[in-house]
Amino acid sequence: MKFLNLLKIFSISSYQIPRSYSKEAPKALRSLKAKSTRDTVQYYIDSYRVRAVGGNGGDGCISFLSAWCKGHAGPDGGDGGHGGHVIFKATHSVKSLNHCKTVTQAKHGEKGYNKDCTGKNAEHIIVPVPLGTIVKDDKGKVIADLSSEGIMFVAARGGAGGRGNKFFLTDTEQAPDIAEFGAKGECKTYTLEVRSMAHVGLLGAPNAGKSSLLRALSRARPAVAPHPFTTLRPHIGMVPYDDYEQVAIADLPGLIPGSHKNYGLGIQFLQHVERCRGLVYLLDGADSPRQQYETLTYELSQYNPTLSTRDKCIVVNKIDLPEGRRGYEDLKKTHKVIGISAKTGLNLGELLRAIRDIYDGEH
Ligand SMILES: Nc1nc2c(ncn2[C@@H]2O[C@H](COP(=O)(O)OP(=O)(O)OP(=O)(O)O)[C@@H](O)[C@H]2O)c(=O)[nH]1
Ligand SMILES: [Mg+2]
């Protein structure tokens, strides 16, 4: 009998339907690896002003050849090499503009030499940028949209190399003593903007617990503190799901009344929101969540009415506190909300499923 029972248990446990064939919603994978203890906090740069400077062309050379058998063998000054270009190239292998430098200077071309030797051309500098980067000139006009893999934009052309005196040899001028200087490289200023920054953005008033939530959901480590405007730049965290999809979640700086008039971090903040596919409205349950929700929707609709119609999910945080739970119960009567606690990890599974629905466009 005992043997039969054992057989029964074994046969049930060994016959499990593989997850890939089941119709269940994808589950978020929680990382088992400990977070890094390094002090550096990495924020995400989605807009960057850069100066691209092309290399100068090398100067042409003035030289006259004097061979042992022929004293005046003629001019032999070579041309200078061309300066390098600065090129922006779209690639899927970079996700942000963190690696970009404020000034990118290409190398100069080498000068020309005697014996008709041309100077070496400088190599071009190729700056990788994320797919979907928009290049704006210094007047704010969009001049390039790097939306597909490998597409390039020449940001600053290098100067052409100057010609050496050999070039100026003519029938009438047999000993030209002139050569050209290399041309100067272009110097231009651009603003690079990553059009799509994250799949889901965490939107909320200062101190609502956005950074705490990103810490709880992903391996990112934005600073958390009990005072407003702790986060001044966006942070991105990745949430992996068991079907190998990864959802990027952005912790954005806090939004205050009047942001559309550029109060607080204002317009700059709302530009970050524009680059998210869907939004999670994170409300502080202990601080009149209904009013916070109305402020958020009002500010978004004032800045850009299409923002308030994006896929969204309303979340009330801090339900571990009695006043937080009261705020949650109150808002639940009129809206579809998820109550969570970023601090204790309460109900995060439900939120992760809602985030996945926003990602899949099913919300
Ligand atoms: N009790 C409780 N406290 C929380 C919870 N989530 C966040 N807090 C606290 O709320 C305070 C603010 O949290 P942050 O994560 O820095 O808030 P934030 O929205 O990122 O704030 P800003 O970056 O300033 O806009 C911190 O003191 C957190 O400990 C929660 O679920 N329960
Ligand atoms: Mg924060």
pLDDT tens string 136-177: 998 989 999 998 999 999 999 999 999 999 999 999 989 999
For 104-137, what is each residue's pLDDT tens digit?
Answer: 999 999 999 999 999 999 999 999 999 889 999 9
What does the alpha-carbon distance between residue 170 and residue 72 come to, in Å, rounded to a whole number? 16
Same domain, 122 and 255: no
Band the pLDDT of 23: cuts 50, 70, 90. low
Are 136 and 190 in contact by the 8 Å Cβ rule? The answer is yes
User: Is residue 100 exposed (0-12), middle (13-18) or buried (19+ Cβ within 10 Å)?
Assistant: middle
**Given this model, what pLDDT does residue 41 score?**
63
Same domain, 107 and 223: no
Are 46 and 191 in contact by the 8 Å Cβ rule? The answer is no
- Which residues are near ligand 1 (CB < 6 Å)? 204, 206-212, 224-226, 228-231, 253-254, 317-318, 320-321, 341-343
Mean pLDDT of the 278-306 span: 90
Pocket test for ligand 1, best of 43, 202, 203, 207 (most atoms within 8 A of CB): 207
Same domain, 64 and 78: yes
Band the pLDDT of 327: cuts 50, 70, 90. very high
Same domain, 262 and 329: yes
Same domain, 168 and 203: no
Same domain, 170 and 227: no
Of 196, 221, 241, which residue constitutes the final position of a domain? 196
**Domain-embedded: residue 19:** no
Residue 10 has pLDDT above 60, yes or no: no
CA of 269 from ligand 2 middle (Å) equals 13
- Determine the atom of ligand 1 nearest the C-alpha atom of 341: 31
Same domain, 277 and 142: no
**Tokens linked to 259:** 């942001």
- Determine the atom of ligand 1 nearest the C-alpha atom of 227: 24
Q: Name the pTM for this structure.
A: 0.70
Provide the residue range defining the domain that includes 118: 45-196
**Domain-embedded: residue 346:** yes
Look at residues 181, 358, 166, 223 and name the one whose alpha carbon lies nearest to residue 279: 358
Please state the domain count of the chain.
Answer: 2
Of 196, 217, 250, which residue constitutes the final position of a domain? 196
What's 355's domain CATH number?
3.40.50.300
Mean pLDDT of the 24-49 span: 77
For 214-242, what is each residue's pLDDT tens digit?
Answer: 999 998 888 888 888 888 878 889 999 99
